[in-house]
Chain A
Amino acid sequence: MADESVVVRADESAAVLEDINFYYTQMIDNIADYAVMRLDNDGVIRNWHAGAQQLTQYAAQEIIGRPVAVFYTAEDVASGLVETDLHAAAKGGRHAAAGWRLRKDGTRFWASAVFTALHDLAGDAWGYGMVVRDLTHAREQELTLHGLEQLVDSIADYQVIRLDRDGRVCSWNPGAQKLTGYAAEEVLGHHVSMFYTDDDARAGVLQQELADAVRDGSTETEGWRIRKDGRRFWANVILSPIRDEQGELTGFVKVARDLTERREQERLVKQQGDEILELSTPVIQVWDKVLILPLIGTLDSGRAARLTESLLARIAADQAEVVILDISGVPQIDSGVAQHLLETVEAARLMGTDSILSGVRPDTAQSIVHLGIELGGLRSRTSLKDALQLALRLIEARAGSGNGAGDGADVRA
């Protein structure tokens, strides 16, 4: 009926009109990603096309003459959504809607539909044009993206932000605000170096980090960063590059957290450890230029290294000429301990200081020899008293400018 009116009122020959119709139909049928259909004024499907069949699974002969409501879910039909959509189109000329629609087999797809009210040449309503797209996939992506945003926003203890290729801030999260004290509008578009110390910013630390991240795929660093209020915090930062499908660098993800407290604890533990080591390796000055190092307890390599260090430092400070290493407090001498002692003696000698071993018990002497430990020219005494006497004679001999060659020979014996 309506079709006839077009034919009659169009001032064209029937043949030309048929041609045009043919080309239009062909053009529309070749549109594959959209479903294009025409409804009459009552919402009944009057024209169908190949894309619509692909999307909804209905063939033209099955669907033409049926109401558009077949695509709507039962709830939407019940709530009068079909009429609402058609009325909106009739009133505004164009109406866009999105929602779940049904295929022939009952499966759902997320449809974006655009209704357009059609009019004949006289201006009377002539049904609706309807273009539908399947946006199920796009909707899923959008939901995923939205979920990710929510996820990032829910992270309160971590700064999770995005930077562009040059290091300007592109996104901000509550964790970032908590960590730095800045609100999103204060930092978006600013260069991330605003959080670095002046020294680091000058030294190009950020540029180096970005370059490392690009080269290695990700980079983890720690360092001082500055809050809005000027206080600094010790940050652990992981920077990863973001690339598009072509592999082109588009920016960076930066994840940071505040490790100030942990760093402080680690420092405290280390300091206490140092103090304990200090207490366990006392160096005593017993005489002018004579030091005693009483060794007590088990010597592990950490303690032994510390011991050598503090002894040599004292030798340098006091300009001590003789040190007595008293091992009477060491329960057992094994080859490791002996090695440490010999290295200490050697280092002291290089500085110009003589060493004397004291407190050697009979069982210690036996085990040293049985272990095959070569003490070289190291002088040794059983008691601290004897060792001290020897030390004083050595000093005397060192000071004496060759007055009595016998002295030197005696001391060496």
Chain B
Amino acid sequence: MRMGQDLLVTLHGDLDDRTVESIEQNVTSEVARTRARGTLIDVSGLDVVDSFVAQVLARLVRMIRLLGAEAAIVGIRPAVAITLVELGISMPDVTTALNAEQGMARLRRMRADGMRIDHDNHC
């Protein structure tokens, strides 16, 4: 779903290898096609978030960044957060937010920071 300059990707149900593949294809082609500046990945609808799903999310974020957009994960529920920490998966490089609204704010701020860095480099 497109929201201004940003894309909202909603994941739900159960993820297996085949759905992951099609999600990766869809998201990357959509980011490239719409020239989106940021992408929010909403995981609140996922049945399970385990180490496999965490890897998938981290990969998705890296792909989106390679396409020149920022990415943030929103909607990690308390129980999921506890499980991930217990599994030792903290996804330190991934930006997270409580909801889509805050996620968009974070994406905007990252873009601002990014422009500042670009600007600094030009100096």
* B112 in contact with A402 (CB, 8 Å): yes
Which residue of the partner chain A has the closest CB to B116? A405
| B78 close to A (CB within 8 Å) | yes
Which residue of the partner chain B has the closest CB to A398? B105
Which residue of the partner chain B has the closest CB to A320? B98
For B64, list chain A residues within 8 Å (CB): none
For A308, list chain B residues within 8 Å (CB): 82
| B106 close to A (CB within 8 Å) | yes
Asked whether A405 and B113 contact (CB < 8 A) given A346-B90, A349-B96, the answer is yes
* B99 in contact with A408 (CB, 8 Å): no
Contact of A350 among B81, B102, B105, B112 (CB under 8 A): B81
* A405 in contact with B112 (CB, 8 Å): yes
For A249, list chain B residues within 8 Å (CB): none
- A75 CB → nearest B CB, Å: 82
Which residue of the partner chain B has the closest CB to A344? B85
Q: How many chain-B residues does the 8 Å CB contact rule pick out?
A: 28
Contact of A401 among B82, B86, B90, B108 (CB under 8 A): B108
Binary flags per residue of A267-283, CB closer than 8 Å to B gives 1, else 0: 00000000000000000
Contact of B85 among A320, A346, A401, A405 (CB under 8 A): A346
Asked whether A347 and B85 contact (CB < 8 A) given A352-B76, A401-B109, A402-B109, the answer is yes
Binary flags per residue of B64-91, CB closer than 8 Å to A gives 1, else 0: 0000000010101110111011100011
* A352 in contact with B90 (CB, 8 Å): no
For A348, list chain B residues within 8 Å (CB): 81
Asked whether A309 and B102 contact (CB < 8 A) given A347-B85, A350-B84, the answer is no
| A183 close to B (CB within 8 Å) | no
Tell me the bound Cα distance from A353 to B103 in angstroms. Answer: 11
* A352 in contact with B112 (CB, 8 Å): no
Interface centre among A398, A399, A405 (most CB of B within 10 A): A405
Tell me the bound Cα distance from A366 to B65 in angstroms. Answer: 40
Contact of B109 among A312, A321, A408 (CB under 8 A): A408
Tell me the bound Cα distance from A36 to B94 in angstroms. Answer: 100
Asked whether A316 and B108 contact (CB < 8 A) given A347-B84, A352-B96, the answer is no
Binary flags per residue of A296-308, CB closer than 8 Å to B gives 1, else 0: 0000000000001
Which residue of the partner chain A has the closest CB to B111? A402
Tell me the bound Cα distance from A401 to B109 in angstroms. Answer: 5
| B8 close to A (CB within 8 Å) | no
Which residue of the partner chain B has the closest CB to A402? B112
Which residue of the partner chain B has the closest CB to A345? B85
| B97 close to A (CB within 8 Å) | yes
Asked whether A351 and B96 contact (CB < 8 A) given A315-B78, A343-B85, A408-B113, the answer is yes
Which residue of the partner chain A has the closest CB to B112? A402
Which residue of the partner chain A has the closest CB to B72? A352
Tell me the bound Cα distance from A405 to B117 in angstroms. Answer: 10
For A401, list chain B residues within 8 Å (CB): 105, 108-109, 112
Number of A-B residue pairs at CB separation under 8 A: 80
For B115, list chain A residues within 8 Å (CB): 402, 405
| A384 close to B (CB within 8 Å) | no
* A321 in contact with B96 (CB, 8 Å): no
* B82 in contact with A347 (CB, 8 Å): yes
| A313 close to B (CB within 8 Å) | yes
Which residue of the partner chain B has the closest CB to A311? B78
Contact of A319 among B90, B99, B106, B113 (CB under 8 A): B99
For B85, list chain A residues within 8 Å (CB): 343, 346-347, 350
Tell me the bound Cα distance from A281 to B60 in angstroms. Answer: 37
Tell me the bound Cα distance from A346 to B84 in angstroms. Answer: 9
Contact of B78 among A319, A347, A349, A403 (CB under 8 A): A347
Tell me the bound Cα distance from A295 to B36 in angstroms. Answer: 44
For B76, list chain A residues within 8 Å (CB): 350-352
- A319 CB → nearest B CB, Å: 5
Which residue of the partner chain B has the closest CB to A310? B78
- B65 CB → nearest A CB, Å: 18
Contacts A351-B78, A352-B96 supplied; 15 other A-B pairs, CB < 8 Å: A313-B78, A319-B102, A321-B102, A348-B81, A349-B90, A352-B74, A352-B76, A352-B97, A352-B99, A398-B102, A402-B115, A403-B112, A405-B113, A405-B115, A408-B112
What 10 A-B pairs have minimum CB-CB distances, sorted nearest first?
Answer: A402-B112, A312-B78, A352-B97, A347-B81, A405-B116, A352-B96, A401-B108, A352-B98, A350-B81, A347-B85
30 contacts between A and B (CB under 8 A): A313-B78, A319-B98, A320-B98, A343-B85, A346-B85, A346-B90, A349-B90, A350-B76, A350-B81, A350-B85, A350-B96, A351-B96, A351-B98, A352-B72, A352-B76, A352-B96, A352-B98, A352-B99, A352-B102, A352-B103, A397-B109, A398-B106, A398-B109, A399-B105, A401-B109, A402-B108, A402-B109, A402-B111, A408-B109, A408-B113
